[in-house]
């Protein structure tokens, strides 16, 4: 006959890839001691699609429709980095109007991404309603995207040297309307969430990571800025026309889950500010579709010159990337999205290494969750803001 | 004043038709059960519809629209679907416990409805230990949840079952203590007596409702009842984002439907108890009997009795609906608390406060008995309002833009 004994037996549970609160197909193998998380091992790769290898047998234009599948909630950024890397390698000039259009699209995309972070994050904590509210606002952004690019999510809008098409008539007014509409809604979220005692109790001091640790783990984006590091590539790298706009880096000294929430909410406000200014300052001029420029310029077009050698007989316009290698990065909503590109004097990139922010930020998760409760695991994971599309690529 | 004894009336009418008295009694027996089953099921369908519609309104969507008028019988359609669904028992589950679990969860809930009064005499069995019976019977349910969680042979289900047990045990005590304070004031455990004790001020009976005498107990009761019914923000046993579906993760078909039914039946039950204990049960804001007396209508007037009974039922249901609405509002507004926060709230806050409330009530009851006036019983209201006032003035005004203040 067996005897009753008290023994702290640890339970290993498998969260994901089909768990309701796992973001995408992340799988966590969690060791539990009662309700306490002892350890957690992320298992990745369920959404691996060889994004880097695919790039090596495509021209940039052919590859562009793929890239929105990295981070499918901040699609404009994946396109931006895909065109920025060859542009900077080849020294392609981008006209000012195109830069402004890019910035407007990027910031809209950042708001969309942060909105769709807020909803699931709150759902992870157990509040379902914000999910519906954020979709209301996000739909408007996607309507704007659809009007400008023809697609809601997979825009395929950026081109080497500019953007695919100019804005349709009336788009700027619609975007301005949205800029009037969104800030009151963000206030509404804050009234609903920020000072809610249950919310505060759940997130304050949770998943703390200090300044040194955050830097050492290579965190970026809101994860880094919430740990008292004022580091935003838009200010650091001076790319596109961010220097011409008046805005502040959203950062916080908390280092906890609440700080990450605060940073992202604040970033949405800053993005609205930027879009407003960019819309006001939007210059005229070409929006720079290279192929159209080349075709209209005929055989004597300067775009047929040495620097931009198109191979015109192919179905999609391509250009030869010069020999050389470099690393290009943009500030995506999740953090530093980078591409390490090696050109080989060919239309295909020789190597296309992606530095996805979600992947690097996810690495710190097991450290953050140790000793917390099972419910905290979800809150922390939500605050990291990962998209499995870019984590697994 | 005599209420209507439904059982006797039924037996008498049958014996008037020549049926022997014993047979008439026997015929009466199954009727209350059927009435309970039907009312509870209809009530659950209504509550589910209300929840879907109200949550839809809160989330800027429609909710169900197609089946029935405004989707009103969507719940019934779902029930039928669950009835004819294949019943799966996982191969590694314990089939006996797995089947027994949902039954043990739901049966006590139905039992509890026996002692809920819907009006003067409109109660299926006015047993003298009414409210004690509810508390006693309600503590059986968590065993069913634990059983279901354990028998499912699923880790999420086990965790959910354990949480359900821990939560129910923690919140039963403050719940029982807050009810005990009421019992002390009414000096009766019977639900009917408790309601009648709240009609003692004649036309101004509104002010004898227990919510004015037991505001602290009322708040404790609301929080504990929400936790007892495992509704958000205390829905930890079935916390979707952590435990998939908690103790009913592995259940399908009718067994799942029983869990679902018991959740809403529990919610309605808790709302009914809350309205009986604190909002004067079936009594209207202005009680009808003194009102009728003003107009010279006798209480024995059959038309008045019917009207009174109808008003009683409607008022009880309305009050319960109010509490159901509160629960739904809380569910779709608040985030979920964590398990340790939940237990802390139960043991470290609600328990001491409810003990204090009990002692205070005991002292005040003694005082009012000595002074032969009910006025001291309203002292908790003064204390409560004072506490709320102090808490509100102490609370820091939230900055207009909290993020800006922190950054």
Q: Give the model's pLDDT for residue B401.
A: 45
The predicted model gives B397-404 an average pLDDT of 47
User: What does the angle CA A277 – CA A263 – CA A17 come to, to the nearest 5 degrees?
Assistant: 115
Measured CA to CA, the distance from residue B60 to residue B53 in angstroms comes to: 10
Closest CB to B59 among A125, A132, A375:
A132
Contact A378, A121 (CB under 8 A): no
User: What does the angle CA A327 – CA A328 – CA A332 come to, to the nearest 5 degrees?
Assistant: 135
Verify whether the Cβ–Cβ distance B60 to A375 is below 8 Å.
Answer: no
Beta-strand relationship, A162-163 and A335-343: unpaired
Distance from the A199 Cα atom to the nearest Cα atom in chain B, whole angstroms: 6
Which chain B residues have a beta carbon less than 8 Å from that of A375?
A: 236, 239, 241-242, 336, 338-339
% of chain B beyond a pLDDT of 90: 1
Q: What is the pLDDT of residues B280-308, one digit of tens each?
A: 878 777 777 777 777 777 767 777 777 77
Q: Give the model's pLDDT for residue B406.
A: 44
A311–B contact, CB cutoff 8 A: no
Distance from the B151 Cα atom to the nearest Cα atom in chain A, whole angstroms: 17
Q: Give the model's pLDDT for residue A107.
A: 92
A262–B contact, CB cutoff 8 A: yes
DSSP state of B349: I
Give the other-Cβ count within 10 Å of B298's Cβ. Answer: 10
Q: Give the model's pLDDT for residue A2.
A: 63
Contact A41, A28 (CB under 8 A): yes
Range of A132-146, B177-191, B365-379 with top mean pLDDT: A132-146
Verify whether the Cβ–Cβ distance A126 to B403 is below 8 Å.
Answer: no
Range of weakest confidence among B13-22, B93-102, B129-138, B207-216: B13-22
Which chain B residues have a beta carbon less than 8 Å from that of A250?
A: 407
Q: For the residues of B131-162, what is the DSSP string, one character each?
A: HHHHHHHHTTHHHHHHHHHHHTT-HHHHHHHH
Which chain B residues have a beta carbon less than 8 Å from that of A17?
A: none
Chains A and B: how many Cβ contacts under 8 Å? 103
Closest CB to B239 among A126, A133, A250:
A126
Q: What is the pLDDT along chain A (393 residues), one digit of tens a residue?
A: 565 655 667 888 888 788 777 777 888 888 888 788 888 888 888 888 888 888 888 888 888 888 888 888 888 999 999 888 888 887 777 888 888 889 999 999 999 999 999 988 988 888 888 889 999 899 999 999 998 888 888 888 888 878 887 888 889 999 999 999 999 999 888 888 888 888 888 888 888 888 888 899 888 889 888 888 888 888 888 888 888 888 888 888 888 888 899 899 999 999 999 999 999 988 876 666 555 555 556 667 666 666 555 444 334 456 778 888 889 999 889 889 999 989 888 888 888 899 989 889 888 888 888 888 888 888 888 888 888 888 888
Distance from the A258 Cα atom to the nearest Cα atom in chain B, whole angstroms: 10
Q: Which of B69, B50, B59 is nearest to B264 (CA)?
A: B50
Q: For the residues of B310-326, what is the DSSP string, one character each?
A: HHHHHHHHHHHHHHHHH
Closest CB to B407 among A198, A266, A378:
A266
For B149, left (φ over 0), alpha (ψ -120 to 50), or beta? Answer: alpha
Q: Give the model's pLDDT for residue B407.
A: 40
- For A341, the enclosing helix (H) or strand (E) is strand A335-343
Measured CA to CA, the distance from residue B321 to residue B275 in angstroms comes to: 9
Q: pLDDT tier at B121 (50, 70, 90 boundaries)? A: low
Rounded to the nearest integer, the mean pLDDT of chain B is 81
CA distances from B312 to A135, A276, B221 (A): 44, 60, 23
Question: Does B52 have pLDDT greater than 60?
Answer: yes
Q: Give the model's pLDDT for residue A318.
A: 65
Q: Please state whether the peptide bond connecting residue A17 to the residue before it is cis, i.e. omega within 30 degrees of 0.
A: yes
Measured CA to CA, the distance from residue B222 to residue B228 in angstroms comes to: 10
Distance from the B341 Cα atom to the nearest Cα atom in chain A, whole angstroms: 8
Distance from the B61 Cα atom to the nearest Cα atom in chain A, whole angstroms: 9
Q: Give the model's pLDDT for residue A8.
A: 66
pTM of the model: 0.82
Q: Give the model's pLDDT for residue A3.
A: 59
Question: Which residues lie across from A28 on neighbouring strands?
Answer: A15, A42
Q: Residues of B at the A interface (Cβ-Cβ below 8 Å)?
A: 55, 58-61, 155-156, 159, 232-233, 235-236, 239-242, 244, 332-341, 398, 401-404, 406-407
Verify whether the Cβ–Cβ distance A198 to B337 is below 8 Å.
Answer: yes
Q: Could you tell me which chain A residue has the CA closest to the CA of B241?
A: A21
Verify whether the Cβ–Cβ distance A376 to B338 is below 8 Å.
Answer: yes
Q: Give the model's pLDDT for residue B396.
A: 62
Burial label, B394 (beta-carbon count in 10 A; 0-12, 13-18, 19+): exposed
Q: What is the pLDDT of residues B321-364, one digit of tens each?
A: 999 999 888 888 888 888 888 888 888 888 998 998 889 888 88
Q: Give the model's pLDDT for residue B403.
A: 46
% of chain B beyond a pLDDT of 70: 92
Verify whether the Cβ–Cβ distance A374 to B159 is below 8 Å.
Answer: yes
Which chain B residues have a beta carbon less than 8 Å from that of A126?
A: 232-233, 235, 239, 241, 334-336
Which chain B residues have a beta carbon less than 8 Å from that of A125?
A: 241, 335-336
Distance from the B307 Cα atom to the nearest Cα atom in chain A, whole angstroms: 42
Q: For the residues of A114-149, what is the DSSP string, one character each?
A: HHHHHHHHHHHHT--HHHHHHHHHHHHHHHHHHHHH
- For A276, the enclosing helix (H) or strand (E) is helix A257-281
Q: For the residues of B104-115, what is the DSSP string, one character each?
A: HHHHHHHHHGGG
Interface of A with B in 113-172 (CB under 8 A): 122-129, 132-133, 136
Distance from the B406 Cα atom to the nearest Cα atom in chain A, whole angstroms: 7
Six-digit token string for A127 = 């509040």
B122-160 burial code (b ≥16 CB/10 A, e <16): bbbebbeebbbbbbebbbebbbbbbbbbbbbebbbbbbb
Which chain B residues have a beta carbon less than 8 Å from that of A36?
A: none
Q: Is the dihedral of CA B175, B180, B185, B187 positive or negative?
A: positive
Question: Does B370 have pLDDT greater than 50?
Answer: yes
Verify whether the Cβ–Cβ distance A127 to B333 is below 8 Å.
Answer: yes
Verify whether the Cβ–Cβ distance B403 to A199 is below 8 Å.
Answer: no
């Amino acid at each position: 006959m067996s005897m009753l004994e008290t023994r702290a037996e640890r339970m290993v549970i498998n969260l994901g890839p089909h768990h309701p609160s796992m973001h995408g197909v992340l799988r966590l193998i969690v060791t539990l001691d009662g309700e306490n998380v002892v350890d957690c091992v992320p298992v990745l790769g369920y959404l691996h699609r060889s994004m880097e290898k695919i790039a090596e047998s495509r021209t940039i234009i052919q590859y562009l429709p793929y890239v929105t599948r990295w981070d499918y909630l901040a699609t404009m950024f994946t396109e931006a980095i895909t065109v920025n890397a060859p542009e900077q390698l080849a020294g392609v000039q981008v006209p000012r109007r195109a830069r402004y259009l890019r910035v407007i699209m990027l910031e809209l995309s950042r708001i969309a991404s942060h909105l769709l972070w807020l909803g699931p994050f709150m759902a992870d904590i157990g509040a379902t309603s914000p999910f519906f509210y954020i979709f209301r606002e996000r739909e408007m952004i996607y309507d704007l995207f659809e009007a400008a690019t023809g697609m809601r999510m997979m825009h395929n809008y950026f081109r080497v040297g500019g953007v695919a098409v100019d804005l349709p008539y009336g788009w700027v007014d619609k975007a301005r309307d949205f800029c009037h509409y969104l800030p009151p809604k963000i206030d509404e979220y804050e009234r609903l969430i920020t000072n809610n005692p249950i919310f505060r109790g759940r997130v304050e001091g949770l998943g703390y990571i200090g300044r040194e640790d955050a830097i050492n783990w290579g965190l970026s984006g809101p994860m880094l800025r919430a740990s008292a590091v004022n580091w935003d590539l838009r200010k650091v790298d001076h790319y596109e026309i961010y220097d011409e706009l008046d805005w502040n880096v959203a950062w916080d000294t908390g280092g906890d889950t609440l700080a990450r929430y605060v940073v992202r909410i604040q970033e949405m406000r800053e993005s609205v500010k930027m879009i407003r200014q960019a819309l006001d300052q939007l210059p005229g001029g070409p929006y720079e579709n290279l192929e159209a420029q080349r075709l209209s310029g005929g055989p004597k077009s300067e775009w047929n010159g040495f620097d931009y050698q198109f191979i015109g007989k192919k179905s999609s316009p391509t250009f030869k990337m010069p020999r050389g290698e470099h690393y290009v990065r943009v500030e995506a909503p999740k953090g530093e999205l980078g591409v390490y590109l090696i050109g080989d004097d060919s239309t295909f990139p020789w190597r296309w290494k992606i530095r996805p922010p979600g992947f690097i930020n996810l690495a710190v998760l097991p450290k953050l969750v140790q000793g917390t409760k099972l419910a905290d695991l979800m809150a922390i994971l939500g605050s990291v803001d990962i998209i499995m599309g870019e984590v697994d690529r | 004043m005599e209420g209507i004894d439904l059982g006797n009336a039924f037996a008498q009418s049958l014996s008037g038709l020549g049926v022997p008295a014993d047979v008439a009694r026997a015929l009466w027996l199954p009727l209350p059960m059927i009435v309970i089953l039907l009312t509870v099921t209809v009530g659950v369908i209504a509550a589910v519809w209300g929840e879907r519609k109200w949550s839809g309104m809160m989330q800027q969507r429609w909710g169900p629209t197609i089946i029935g008028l405004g989707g009103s019988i969507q719940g019934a359609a779902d029930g039928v679907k669950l009835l004819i669904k294949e019943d799966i028992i996982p191969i590694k589950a314990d089939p006996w416990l797995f089947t027994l679990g949902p039954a043990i969860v739901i049966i006590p809930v139905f039992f509890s409805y026996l002692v809920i009064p819907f009006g003067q005499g409109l109660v299926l069995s006015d047993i003298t230990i009414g409210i004690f019976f509810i508390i006693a019977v309600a503590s059986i349910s968590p065993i069913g949840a634990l059983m279901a969680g354990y028998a499912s042979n699923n880790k999420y289900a086990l965790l959910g079952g354990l949480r359900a047990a821990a939560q129910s045990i923690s919140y039963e005590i403050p719940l029982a203590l807050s009810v005990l304070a009421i019992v002390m004031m009414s000096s009766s455990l019977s639900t009917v007596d408790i309601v009648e004790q709240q009609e003692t001020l004649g036309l101004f009976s509104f002010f004898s409702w227990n919510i004015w005498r037991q505001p602290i107990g009322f708040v404790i009761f609301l929080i504990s009842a929400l936790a007892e019914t495992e509704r958000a923000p205390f829905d930890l046993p079935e916390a979707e984002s952590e435990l998939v579906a908690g103790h009913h993760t592995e259940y399908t078909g009718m067994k799942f439907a029983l869990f679902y039914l018991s959740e809403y039946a529990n919610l309605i039950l808790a709302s009914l108890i809350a309205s009986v204990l604190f909002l004067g049960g079936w009594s209207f804001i202005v009680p009808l009997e003194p009102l009728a007396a003003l107009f010279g209508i006798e209480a024995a007037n059959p038309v008045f009795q019917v009207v009174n009974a109808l008003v009683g039922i409607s008022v009880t249901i309305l009050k319960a609906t109010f509490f159901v609405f509160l629960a739904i509002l809380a569910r779709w507004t608040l985030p979920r608390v964590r398990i340790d926060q939940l237990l802390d709230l139960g043991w470290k806050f609600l328990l001491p406060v409810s003990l204090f409330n009990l002692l205070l009530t005991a002292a005040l009851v003694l005082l009012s008995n000595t002074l032969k006036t009910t006025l001291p019983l309203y002292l908790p209201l003064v204390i409560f309002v004072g506490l709320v006032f102090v808490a509100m003035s102490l609370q820091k005004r939230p900055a207009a833009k909290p993020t800006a203040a922190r950054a």
